[in-house]
A and B are shown apart, each in its own frame.
Chain A
Amino acid sequence: MTHIHYRQIEGRSLGYYALLALLGALVAAGLAAAWYMEHNGHWVTGMSNQIVWGTPHVFAVFLIVAASGALNAASVAAVFGRAPYKPLARLSGLLAIALLVGGLAVLVLDLGRPDRLIVAMTTYNFRSIFAWNIFLYTGFIALVVVYLWMMFERRLNAYSRPVGVFAFAWRLVLTTGTGSIFGFLIARQAYDAAVLAPLFIAMSLSFGGAIFILVLLAACRGTGRPLGDELLRRLKNLQGVFVLAVLYFVAVHHLTNLYLAERQGVERFLLLDGGVYTRTFWIGQILIGSVLPLLIFFTARAGARALIAFGCVLVLLGGLAQMYVFLIGGQAWPMPLFPGKEVSSGFGDGAIAAYSPSLPEVLLGAGGIGIALALVALALKALPFLPESLADTDDDPHHKTGAA
Chain B
Amino acid sequence: MNRRDVLGLGAAAVTATLLAPGLRLIELARARAPEEAATGRRRWGLLIDASKCGDCDACVTACRDENGWDGHGRPATDAQWIRKVTLTDRQTGHVQALPLMCQHCADPPCVDVCPTGASFRRADGIVLVDKHICIGCRYCMMACPYQARSFVHEDVTNQKHHAPRGKGTVESCTLCVHRVDAGGIPACVEACGKNGNKAMVFGDLKDGQSEIARRLARASSLQIRPDLNLNTGVRYRNV
Task: List chain A positions with a Cβ less than 8 A from chain B.
Answer: 38, 40-43, 47-50, 52-53, 111-114, 116-117, 119-120, 123-125, 127-131, 134, 181, 184-188, 331, 335-338, 340-349, 354
Contact = CB atoms under 8 A, between A and B. Distances in A.
B116 A125 contact: yes
B44 interface: no
A56 to B, nearest CB: 11
A50 B135 contact: no
Contacts of A348: 76, 147
B83 A186 contact: no
B65 interface: no
B77 A187 contact: no
Interface stretch (B16-24, B31-39, B85-93, B186-194): B85-93
Contact of A130 (B86, B137, B169): B137
A343 B113 contact: no
B117 A113 contact: no
Given A338-B87, A345-B84, A112 B141 contact: no
B145 A186 contact: yes
A354 B144 CA distance: 19
B212 interface: no
Given A49-B77, A123-B133, A337 B146 contact: yes
B53 interface: no
Contacts of B168: 38, 41-42, 111-113
A53 B83 CA distance: 22
Given A48-B76, A111-B168, A344 B153 contact: no
B154 A40 contact: yes
Contact of A337 (B85, B89, B112, B149): B85
Contacts of B112: 127-128
Contact of A41 (B152, B224, B228): B152
B114 to A, nearest CB: 5
Interface in B127-154: 133-139, 141-147, 149-154
Contact of A344 (B85, B147, B239): B85
B109 A186 contact: yes
B228 A130 contact: no
Chain B interface mostly helix, strand, loop or mixed?
loop
B8 interface: no
B147 A112 contact: no
A124 B116 contact: yes
A120 B116 contact: yes
Contacts of A124: 115-117
Contacts of B150: 49
Contacts of B114: 125, 128, 130
B77 A342 contact: no
B77 A42 contact: yes
Given A42-B168, A131-B115, A336-B225, 13 more contacts: A43-B154, A49-B79, A53-B142, A113-B136, A124-B116, A128-B112, A184-B143, A185-B143, A187-B145, A341-B87, A343-B87, A345-B100, A347-B83
B142 A354 contact: no
A334 to B, nearest CB: 8
Contacts of B144: 187
B74 A43 contact: yes
B124 to A, nearest CB: 20
B80 interface: yes
24 contacts: A43-B72, A47-B153, A49-B78, A49-B153, A111-B136, A112-B134, A112-B168, A113-B169, A120-B116, A123-B116, A125-B114, A128-B113, A130-B115, A130-B137, A134-B115, A184-B143, A187-B144, A337-B85, A337-B225, A338-B87, A340-B90, A341-B90, A343-B87, A346-B83
Contacts of A347: 75, 80, 83, 147
B76 A49 contact: yes
A341 B90 CA distance: 5
Contacts of B76: 48-50, 348, 354
Given A53-B142, A116-B133, A341 B77 contact: no
Given A120-B116, A124-B115, A41 B155 contact: yes
Contacts of A354: 76
